[in-house]
C-alpha cells in the first residue's frame, strides 16, 4: 500500500471517529440532569422548624424552665427574628431571616463532650472545638450533603445549637454563638 | 486518493459506532420529574414532650409497582435540627449520582425497599440500605420498631423482635415520634397504614399504646391523616379525621 493511500486511510478514520464522538457527546448531554429532591426521606414539613408549632417569645419565656440567651450578630439579632417555634415541652427555636436557627433546650446528655468526640470520629462534617470557653461540636456545612452546619454546646443545664442554612460558613456560626448573652 | 479517503472515513465512522454500541449502557437515573420537594402526612402521640425514645408499629408494606418516584412509609423520631428514620421506599433511592446519599448510584425498586436514614444535629444526611422486602412480604403488614432503649444516642431499628437489623448513631437520645407518609411526585400513590402504634418514654423501656393520635403536619394536597382509632392511623385520599 502506498504511503499516500495509508495517510488517506488514517486521516479518514480519525475524521470519521471525531464526527461520531462529537455527535455522541452532543446528544448525550441533551437529557436533563436529575437531582435528588430537596429534603428526601425527611419527617418534617418543609419550612417548619424542628417539626414544631409557631410560638411567641412571650409564650416561650413563660414556658421554658431556663433563662434564654440572645444573639447579637448581623446574621442573628432582634430585628431579624422571623419566628419562634415550640419544638417540645423542653426546647424551642428562634428562627432568623438570614436562615440561622438557634435551638435552646434542657440538656439530656449525661456527657456531652463524649458525644461530640464520638460524632467527630464518625462523620467528616464534625470536629470538636472550644466556644465560649466550653467544649463544642462544630459542623462544617461544606463537608456533608444536607448539613445545615452549626455549633452545639451545653452551658449550665441548657443545650444550645446555633444552626446555619447549609451555606453560612462555620466561622460565622461560631461568631453568633460567641455573641449570645442574656440581654435581649 | 479521494475515494480512498472517503471510504476510510466511513470505515472510521463504522469502527467508532461499533465501539459505542458495545460500551456498557449508562446507569439509569431518576427523571427530573422526581426532583420535587416532598409532601408529608405526619402524625404523633399527643403532647410533644420531647421525651419519646422509641416508636413501633405494624406497618403496611405495598405490593410491587413501577409507577412511583419515591413513595415512603416511615417511623421517625425528630429532635430539633436532627432526626432518625426507619422506612421503606418504593421507587427511586437517590445515590451520589443524583446528589443523594444512599450509595454511589441511584437505583429504582418496584418493591418496598428498607432504608435507615438519619441526620445528627447540624450534620449531614446519612443512609443505609437494608434491601428490598421478599416477595412473600409484599402487600402485607410487618412489625417495625425504632428505639434508643438505653438513651446512649444509638438508635436501633428492627423487623419484628430483637435482634436489631442495625443502628444509627446521632447526638440525641430522645425526641418526638412521627409516623410519616411521604411522596415526591403528585402522581405517586400516597397510601400508608400504621397499626398498633406504641411509643416508649425516656427512662422507661415499657411500650405504651398511643392514646392521643394527633396530626403533626400535612402539606399534601390529596392525601390526609385518617384516624381509624387512637393507635391505628392511615394516610388516604379522603377527608382527614385526625384532630388535635
pLDDT tens across A97-151, in order? 999 999 999 999 999 999 999 999 999 999 999 999 999 999 999 999 999 999 9
The whole-angstrom separation of Cα B189 and Cα B72 is: 10
B71 part of contact set with chain A, CB < 8 Å? no
Predicted confidence band of residue B89 (pLDDT cuts 50, 70, 90): very high
Q: Is the pLDDT of residue A71 over 80?
A: yes
Is B35 in contact with A35 (Cβ distance < 8 A)? yes
pLDDT-wise least confident of B23-27, B163-167, B181-185, B194-198: B23-27
Mean pLDDT for A165-182 is 97
Q: Is the pLDDT of residue A27 over 50?
A: no
Residues contacting B239, CB < 8 A, separation 6+:
B224
For residue B32, what pLDDT is reported? 77
For residue A133, what pLDDT is reported? 97
For residue B87, what pLDDT is reported? 98
Nearest to B117 by CA among A172, A42, A6, A108: A42
For residue A91, what pLDDT is reported? 95
Mean pLDDT for A23-35 is 46
The helix/strand/coil state of A174 is: helix
The helix/strand/coil state of B88 is: strand
Q: Is the pLDDT of residue B24 over 50?
A: no
Is B171 in contact with A115 (Cβ distance < 8 A)? yes
Residues of B in contact with A64 (CB under 8 A): none
For residue A124, what pLDDT is reported? 97
Nearest CA in chain B to A32: B32
Which among B16, B120, B218 is the nearest to A21, CB-wise?
Answer: B16
Predicted confidence band of residue A22 (pLDDT cuts 50, 70, 90): low
Is B13 in contact with A20 (Cβ distance < 8 A)? yes
Mean pLDDT for B158-179 is 97
Q: Is the pLDDT of residue B192 over 50?
A: yes
Is B10 in contact with A16 (Cβ distance < 8 A)? yes
Is B12 in contact with A122 (Cβ distance < 8 A)? no
For chain B, what is the mean pLDDT?
90
CB pairs under 8 A between A and B: 239
Mean pLDDT for A76-95 is 96
Model ipTM?
0.86
The residue among A55 and A1 whose pLDDT is bigger is A55
Share of chain A above pLDDT 90, in %: 76
Q: Could you identify the residue written with the cell 459506532?
A: B17
Predicted confidence band of residue B137 (pLDDT cuts 50, 70, 90): very high
Interface of B with A in 133-172 (CB under 8 A): 151, 153, 169, 171-172
CB B210 within 8 A of CB B216: no
Mean pLDDT for A52-68 is 94
Is A37 in contact with B74 (Cβ distance < 8 A)? no
The residue among B124 and A25 whose pLDDT is bigger is B124
**For the whole model, what pTM was predicted?**
0.87
Residues contacting A62, CB < 8 A, separation 6+:
none
For residue B101, what pLDDT is reported? 93
Q: Is the pLDDT of residue A33 over 60?
A: no
Is B78 in contact with A43 (Cβ distance < 8 A)? yes
Predicted confidence band of residue A47 (pLDDT cuts 50, 70, 90): very high
Residues contacting B238, CB < 8 A, separation 6+:
B224, B226
B192 part of contact set with chain A, CB < 8 Å? no
For residue B202, what pLDDT is reported? 87
Mean pLDDT for B64-80 is 94
For residue A31, what pLDDT is reported? 39
Share of chain B above pLDDT 70, in %: 89
For residue B25, what pLDDT is reported? 44
Burial of A156 (C-beta count, 10 Å sphere; 0-12/13-18/19+)? exposed
Which among B38, B117, B178 is the nearest to A37, CB-wise?
Answer: B38
Q: Is the pLDDT of residue A10 over 60?
A: yes
For residue A29, what pLDDT is reported? 40
For residue B22, what pLDDT is reported? 52
User: Nearest C-alpha of chain A: how many angstroms from B164?
Assistant: 20
Is B11 in contact with A16 (Cβ distance < 8 A)? yes
Give the relative orientation of helices B2-22 and A3-28 as an angle to the nearest 10 degrees.
Answer: 40
For residue B214, what pLDDT is reported? 96
pLDDT-wise least confident of A26-40, A57-71, B107-121: A26-40
Mean pLDDT for A51-71 is 94
Q: Is the pLDDT of residue B48 over 80?
A: yes
Mean pLDDT for B29-55 is 88
Q: Could you identify the residue written with the cell 470536629?
A: A127
Amino acid at each position: 500500500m502506498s504511503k499516500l493511500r495509508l495517510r488517506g486511510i488514517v486521516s479518514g478514520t480519525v475524521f470519521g471517529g471525531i464526527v461520531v464522538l462529537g455527535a455522541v457527546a452532543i446528544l448525550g448531554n441533551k437529557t436533563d440532569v436529575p437531582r435528588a429532591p430537596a429534603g428526601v426521606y425527611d419527617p418534617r414539613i418543609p419550612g417548619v422548624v424542628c417539626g414544631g408549632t409557631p410560638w411567641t417569645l412571650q409564650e416561650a419565656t413563660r414556658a421554658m424552665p431556663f433563662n434564654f440567651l440572645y444573639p447579637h450578630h448581623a446574621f442573628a439579632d432582634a430585628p431579624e427574628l422571623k419566628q419562634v417555634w415550640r419544638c417540645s415541652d423542653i426546647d424551642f427555636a428562634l428562627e432568623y431571616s438570614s436562615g440561622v436557627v438557634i435551638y435552646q433546650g434542657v440538656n439530656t446528655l449525661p456527657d456531652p463532650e463524649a458525644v461530640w468526640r464520638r460524632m467527630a470520629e464518625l462523620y467528616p462534617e464534625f470536629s470538636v472545638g472550644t466556644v465560649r470557653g466550653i467544649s463544642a461540636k462544630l459542623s462544617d456545612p461544606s463537608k456533608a450533603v444536607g448539613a445545615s452546619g452549626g455549633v452545639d454546646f451545653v452551658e449550665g443545664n441548657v443545650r444550645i445549637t446555633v444552626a446555619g442554612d447549609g451555606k453560612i460558613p462555620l466561622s460565622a456560626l461560631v461568631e453568633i454563638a460567641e455573641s449570645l448573652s442574656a440581654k435581649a | 486518493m479521494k475515494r480512498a479517503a472517503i471510504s476510510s472515513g466511513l470505515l472510521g465512522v463504522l469502527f467508532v459506532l461499533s465501539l459505542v454500541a458495545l460500551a456498557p449502557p449508562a446507569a439509569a437515573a431518576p427523571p427530573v420529574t422526581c426532583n420535587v420537594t416532598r409532601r408529608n402526612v405526619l402524625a404523633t402521640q399527643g403532647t410533644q414532650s420531647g421525651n419519646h425514645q422509641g416508636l413501633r408499629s405494624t406497618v403496611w408494606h405495598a405490593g410491587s409497582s413501577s409507577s412511583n418516584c419515591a413513595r415512603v412509609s416511615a417511623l421517625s423520631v425528630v429532635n430539633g435540627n436532627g432526626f432518625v428514620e426507619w422506612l421503606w421506599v418504593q421507587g427511586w433511592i437517590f445515590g451520589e449520582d443524583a446528589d443523594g446519599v444512599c450509595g454511589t448510584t441511584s437505583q429504582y425498586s418496584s418493591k418496598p425497599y428498607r432504608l435507615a436514614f438519619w441526620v445528627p444535629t447540624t450534620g449531614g444526611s446519612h443512609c443505609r440500605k437494608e434491601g428490598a422486602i421478599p416477595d412473600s412480604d409484599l402487600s402485607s403488614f410487618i412489625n417495625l420498631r425504632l428505639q434508643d432503649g438505653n438513651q446512649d444516642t444509638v438508635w436501633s431499628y428492627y423487623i419484628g423482635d430483637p435482634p436489631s437489623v442495625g443502628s444509627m448513631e446521632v447526638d440525641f437520645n430522645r425526641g418526638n415520634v412521627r409516623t410519616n407518609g411521604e411522596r415526591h411526585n403528585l402522581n405517586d400513590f400516597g397510601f400508608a397504614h400504621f397499626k398498633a402504634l406504641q411509643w416508649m418514654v425516656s427512662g422507661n423501656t415499657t411500650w405504651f399504646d398511643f392514646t392521643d393520635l394527633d396530626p403533626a403536619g400535612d402539606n399534601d394536597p390529596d392525601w390526609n391523616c385518617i384516624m381509624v382509632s387512637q393507635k391505628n392511623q392511615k394516610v388516604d385520599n379522603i377527608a382527614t379525621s385526625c384532630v388535635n
